[in-house]
């Protein structure tokens, strides 16, 4: 279990992390989400003992920071923001070096661990390659193997998929999910879909403050409540359809989100809209009844969850507005 209370960190008079508290249970995968500069790395550095908080407490299992820092460090595998690797070493030599530093002195035990890690992180074909020659995704896998060398109970991963291509992201995500079955994991990201796909729980921080902390399922549910209606129509013109929809109720907002053109005639074949309302009322029945009076064809009429994207944007809007 990881428990931190009222964590605060200043850099001179700038407050990077502002009074945040959380308890992360054993076996949880927590996604720490936030825009650039939100304070994710600073928080993770405090949890791993690299920064001392200005105030607040950190307890990991039965141990207290900073008193039990050595014990705590032995419980945590940490993958920093840019995994520091020795580029002139071969992968195998590097892992061997890390294993020895971490106290795996028994040759057989070390060999067994390498086999497990190589299997888990997909390293078998690159063991004899120089780290400098590896792609970013492969380097990240070596960094993960480093973090997991002693099979720690807790893994703290700072943007493990940053800068990777979609295939590499999926691979790292699978590794995290596999490890997450047995371990407690905190990983930071500013990619929402990533947290959504991988985590049981999501905490969003913005300007050093915790602005949301809930299970992924509950966050999704609250996002669903502010839903949009997606409507696609065939056999009508954009302006006609828009006018008809806007006439249904003054609370309705209609946004055109794309048209499919007929290749032969260049006419707009299908027009699509996103329909929202100020008070989140569900206007699907009214829309259907109104369109029934015409000869237009409804291709799609569905209520769509706005996913977490919207929650994230709303909770972190201030920063975006300031930086835009």
Binding residues (CB under 5 A) for Mg ion: these are 40-41
| Smallest distance, Mg ion to C-beta of residue 190, A | 8
CB of 38 to Mg ion, least distance (A): 8
DSSP string, 126-154: GTTSBGGGS-HHHHHHHHHHHHTTT--SE
Tell whether residue 2 is a contact of ligand ATP (CB under 6 A): no
Residue 9 or 139: the one with the smaller Cβ distance to ligand ATP is 9
Binding mask 169-198 for ligand ATP (x = CB under 6 A): ---------------------x--------
In what helix (H) or strand (E) does residue 44 lie, and over which residues does it extend?
A: helix 40-47
Nearer to ligand ATP, 40 or 139 (CB): 40
Q: In the range 24-83, which residues lie near ligand ATP by CB under 6 A? A: 34, 36-42
Contact of 243 with 298, CB cutoff 8 Å: no
Specify the pairing of strand 63-65 against strand 55-60: antiparallel
290 binds ligand ATP per the rule CB under 6 A: no
Partner whose binding site includes residue 288, from Mg ion, ligand ATP, none (CB under 5 to 8 Å by kind): none
Which one of ligand ATP, Mg ion, none is in contact with 142 (Cβ closer than 5 to 8 A by kind)? none
Q: Cα separations (Å) of 140 from 28, 99, 207, 255?
A: 22, 17, 27, 42
Residue 235 contact among Mg ion, ligand ATP, none, beta carbon within 5 to 8 Å by kind = none
Q: Which is nearer to ligand ATP, 204 or 244 (CB)?
A: 204
Burial of 166 (0-12, 13-18, 19+ CB in 10 A): exposed
Residue 186 CB, nearest approach to ligand ATP (Å): 13
Instruction: Tell me the β-bridge partners of 271.
Output: 233, 259
Which is nearer to Mg ion, 41 or 198 (by Cβ)? 41
306 binds, among Mg ion, ligand ATP, none (CB under 5 to 8 A by kind): none
Query: Which residues have a Cβ under 8 Å from the Cβ of 108 and sit 6 or more positions away?
Result: none
Min dist. Cβ of residue 147 to ligand ATP (A): 17
Query: Longest Cα pair distance anywhere in the chain, in angstroms?
Result: 80
Under rule CB under 6 A, residue 11 binds ligand ATP: yes
130 binds ligand ATP (CB under 6 A): no
Q: What is the C-alpha separation between 139 and 117, in angstroms, rounded?
A: 14
Question: Between 40 and 113, whose beta carbon lies closer to ligand ATP?
Answer: 40
Residue 209 in contact with ligand ATP, rule: CB under 6 A: no
70: left (phi over 0), alpha (psi -120 to 50) or beta: alpha
Which residue's CB is nearer to ligand ATP, number 38 or number 176?
A: 38
Of 34 and 160, CB closest to ligand ATP? 34
Phi-psi region of 283 (alpha: psi -120 to 50; beta: other; left: phi over 0): alpha
C-alpha R_g of the chain = 25
C-alpha distance from residue 43 to each of 62, 160, 288 (Å): 20, 16, 50
List interacting residues with ligand ATP (CB under 6 A): 11, 16, 34, 36-42, 190
């Amino acid at each position: 279990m990881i428990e931190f209370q009222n964590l605060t960190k200043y850099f001179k008079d700038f407050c990077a992390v502002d009074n945040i508290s959380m308890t992360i249970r054993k076996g949880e995968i927590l996604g720490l989400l936030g825009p650039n500069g939100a304070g994710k790395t600073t928080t993770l550095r405090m949890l791993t003992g690299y920064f001392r908080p200005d105030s607040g407490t950190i307890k990991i299992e039965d141990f207290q920071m900073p008193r039990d820092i050595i014990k705590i460090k032995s419980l945590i595998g940490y993958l920093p923001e840019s995994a520091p690797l020795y580029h002139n070493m071969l992968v195998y030599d590097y892992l061997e070096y890390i294993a020895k530093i971490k106290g795996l002195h028994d040759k057989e035990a070390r060999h067994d661990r390498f086999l497990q890690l190589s299997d888990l992180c997909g390293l078998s074909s690159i063991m004899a390659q120089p780290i400098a020659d590896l792609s970013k995704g492969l380097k990240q896998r070596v960094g993960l193997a480093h973090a997991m060398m002693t099979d720690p109970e807790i893994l703290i991963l700072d943007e493990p998929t940053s800068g990777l291509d979609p295939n590499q992201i999926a691979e790292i995500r699978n590794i995290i999910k596999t490890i997450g079955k047995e371990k407690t994991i905190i990983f930071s990201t500013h990619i929402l879909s990533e947290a959504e796909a991988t985590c049981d729980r999501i905490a969003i921080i913005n300007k050093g403050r915790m602005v949301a902390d809930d299970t992924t399922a509950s966050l999704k549910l609250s996002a669903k409540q502010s839903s949009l209606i997606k409507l696609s129509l065939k056999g009508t013109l954009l302006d006609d359809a828009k006018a008809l929809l806007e006439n249904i109720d003054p609370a309705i907002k209609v946004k055109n989100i794309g048209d499919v053109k007929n290749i032969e005639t260049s006419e707009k074949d299908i027009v699509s809209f996103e329909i929202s309302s100020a008070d989140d009322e569900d206007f699907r029945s009214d829309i259907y009844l109104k369109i029934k009076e015409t000869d237009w064809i409804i291709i799609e009429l569905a209520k769509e969850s706005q996913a977490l994207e919207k929650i994230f944007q709303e909770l972190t809007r201030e920063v975006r507005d300031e930086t835009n």
